[in-house]
Copies of this chain bind each other. A is one copy, B any other.
Amino acid sequence: MHSSHRIVATYRLAPLPHLEGERGEPEPRALAIARESTLETPEGVAPPSIEAALLGRVETLAPEEPTGGWEGSGIHESHETPYRAVISHAPEILDGGLPQLLNVIYGNISLLPGVRLVDLHLPDRVLDQYPGPGLGIRGLRDLVQGHGRPLVAAALKPVGLAPEPLAELASAFARAGMDVIKDDHSLVDQGFAPFRERVRAVVDAVRRVNEGRSDGQTAYFANVTGPAEELLQKAEFAARTGAHGILISPGLVGLDAMAMLARRGPGLPIMSHPSGADVGPDRTTGVAPHIHFGLLHRLAGADTVVYVNAGGRFAWSLETCQEVNRRLRATLGSLRPSLPCPAGGVNRTDAPMWFETYGADTLLLIGGSLLKEADVEGAARVLVEQARVSSPGTGTG
């Protein structure tokens, strides 16, 4: 169908019955996408050699199969059939940077109606330009000394708490044996818990507990999301102070800002948070979640990728979540796999079911469901125990 040394993007074209003339027709739309993503000039303007070398190619265009898989049926269409357009690009259109890759796969066309990026193949020579996870699943397991079982995480929140109560909470989670503790993504650098004070306090609390343990250690991921010129400093401060990892929301700071930390940062593992990602499984535009979280976050260096779990507050389907998981763990050039981190309203009592459903290579993040218990530490201890006795599927560690 296409040469595997090209970038191959698959778009779902939702029916546009309200558009007049050929603008709503699949073939002109596919050709327009291929041109818009590359030369962005009318036919005949670019020299023939450039048209031949750099214009995107429509490899295939076909109506979507009625049973065409889990990304098949949106909720908005009824009148007509959606199409799938497979468009390939020469790697020479890139410049080695992530922004230009985003530009080619979903740049100007992100402003078009009814165009959704649903699949993406990147050849090895393109994959090699991006950092990927520094530790990956195996490295994260080594960090917390948790092998052959699902890992569990808890969140420090709510925003508004001072460093001391946040540190006390961290201490309780660490005593319970949680594998990972993360700052709430809304804990940034507000006056009630300034970044440096918060990180120092939580690191101290977690270190004291870890020193007394022989069965693993709790890793603390400090949220460094903030102004662009402070990201590197914040990551370096976190590393210097003794945090085990950093949390960042690429939807708020830009995907390449996270990749910059992977390229130039102090080498702490990265947890990506979905805030501001502006994607969802029910949409007819945007980047499909399994590409956004399952591929782009991994490409940009996330060792573990937080996404919104099925059955939680966000109404995402199990199929979407499973596909995110599959992508994060699958072979992808020489990039390390990322650890899927389902979150967002996961009920602590459902944890064993999720371990079974998602398998061992999962970091299950339980937030509010632990915090609303009178005995937070006791509830966390139960969760940790459930993860330790669980042995679903086969892990990589």
* Residues of A near any B CB (own CB < 8 A): 18-19, 23, 32, 36, 38-42, 44-47, 50, 53-54, 75-76, 92-100, 102-104, 106-108, 110-114, 157-161, 184-186, 188-192, 225-231, 249-257, 259-260, 263-264, 274-280, 282-283, 285-287, 308, 313-316, 344, 367-369, 371-372
Residue contact B103 to A157, C-beta cutoff 8 Å: no
Of B103, B254, B308, the contact of A185 (CB 8 Å cutoff): B103
A160-B107 CB under 8 A given contacts A190-B95, A252-B102 = no
Complex copy number for this chain: 2
Q: In the bound complex, what is the Cα–Cα distance between A39 and B53 (angstroms)?
A: 51
Q: Assess the B278–A53 pair: CB atoms within 8 A.
A: no
Assuming the contacts A229-B260, A253-B254, A285-B278, asked whether A111 and B308 have C-beta atoms less than 8 A apart, the reply is yes
- A251–B102 alpha-carbon span in the complex (Å): 9
Contact B44 A372 (CB under 8 A): yes
Are B112 and A280 touching (Cβ within 8 A)?
yes
B106 touching A278 by the CB < 8 A rule?
yes
User: Which DSSP category, helix, strand, loop or mixed, fits chain A's interface?
Assistant: loop
Task: Tell me which residues across on chain B come within 8 A of A23, comparing CB atoms.
Answer: 315
CA distance A368 to B32 in the complex (A): 14
Q: Which of B53, B76, B113, B368 contacts A40 (CB 8 A)?
A: B368
Determine the chain B residues whose CB is within 8 A of the CB of A50 once the complex forms. Answer: 158-161
Contact B259 A371 (CB under 8 A): no
Q: Bound complex: CA of A19 vs CA of B326, how far in Å?
A: 26
Q: Give every chain B residue within 8 A of A160 (Cβ-Cβ).
A: 39, 46-47, 50, 53-54
- A228 in complex: contacting residue of B103, B226, B260, CB < 8 Å: B260
Complex interface: chain B residues within 8 A of A39 (CB)? 157-160
**Chain B residues closer than 8 Å to A161, beta-carbon distance:** 47, 50
In the complex, A66→B276 CA distance in Å? 30
Residues of B close to A158: CB separation below 8 A: 38-41, 45-46, 50, 54
